[in-house]
Structure 1
């Protein structure tokens, strides 16, 4: 009975992946900030490619592992120069610049970067097919 209620609530909740590109991009960013493995698994396409700030090419599993690292605590941060560029009805590019601060196992860190996320609508849902991060000098 409880499982059925949970399924009904989930079905009734707004699904950002079926909304606008901007809504999907916000939800994808939120999933990363909150280390939400389940949401990331829903958002990342099976053929997802991630190019890190060091130029390393990783797949879906590598991105999820990095975004859900145990011991990482992020401070709230703001994305600047944020752009949402629809590319037809079923695609789009989202980009911006961020300064991320937090701790990893109690040790503080800061990273400054630009990013681009390429989204595609597949089976009526937005998924991320490509992400590239460019590392910038620390602020």
Structure 2
């Protein structure tokens, strides 16, 4: 969507999530990282992938379930979106997002805060016209009441 870069998100393929989870567990085991950290990385990787799939299929309930009520997004133009405005933009009948993948995906843990980042090339249609975008993102997740929720997203366009 050329006029609203805030809407695009990323989608990992199920096969990649399983491999990423296994790789995270193996790396944590070999690097002396506590097994719990490897499990958390795998959990967050799978959760982010499910959220991306929900976005592509426009599953409002699944999208909102992953988000904290105080969610904020800073888009590529510096605009700030709230949870309601972000979800409403995704649900717009004008927007159709094609399945997409993430490059350079990384999860960094800081206690009950996690930073998930990567690069995404996305395509789709907005108001019937094709669009393509390439951006780097960072998603901030916080663990509250035993559940990880996304609290913040920031994207930067890559020319």
Same fold (TM over 0.5): yes
- Give structure 1 stretches of 5+ with no counterpart: 1-18
Q: Which residue of 1 aligns with 2:54?
A: 31
In the TM superposition, what is the alpha-carbon distance from 1:113 to its structure 2 partner? 0.8
Q: Secondary structure at the match of 2:99?
A: coil
Q: Which residue of 1 aligns with 2:138?
A: 116
Could you say which structure has the higher strand fraction? 1
Q: Distance in 1 between matches of 2:90 and 2:158?
A: 19
Q: Which residue of 2 aligns with 1:13?
A: none
Q: Distance in 2 between matches of 1:105 and 1:56?
A: 21
Give the alignment of 1:68-79 within 5 angstroms: 68-79=91-102
Q: Which residue of 2 aligns with 1:129?
A: 151
Equivalences, count: 118
In the TM superposition, what is the alpha-carbon distance from 1:64 to its structure 2 partner? 0.7
The runs of 4+ residues in structure 1 deviating greater than 6 Å are none
The alignment's C-alpha RMSD in Å is 1.5
Q: Distance in 1 between matches of 2:47 and 2:92?
A: 23
Question: Quick check: 96-105 or 66-75, which moved more?
Answer: 66-75
- Give structure 2 stretches of 5+ with no counterpart: 1-41
Q: Which residue of 2 aligns with 1:22?
A: 45
In the TM superposition, what is the alpha-carbon distance from 1:22 to its structure 2 partner? 1.6
Could you say which structure has the higher helix fraction? 2
In the TM superposition, what is the alpha-carbon distance from 1:71 to its structure 2 partner? 3.2
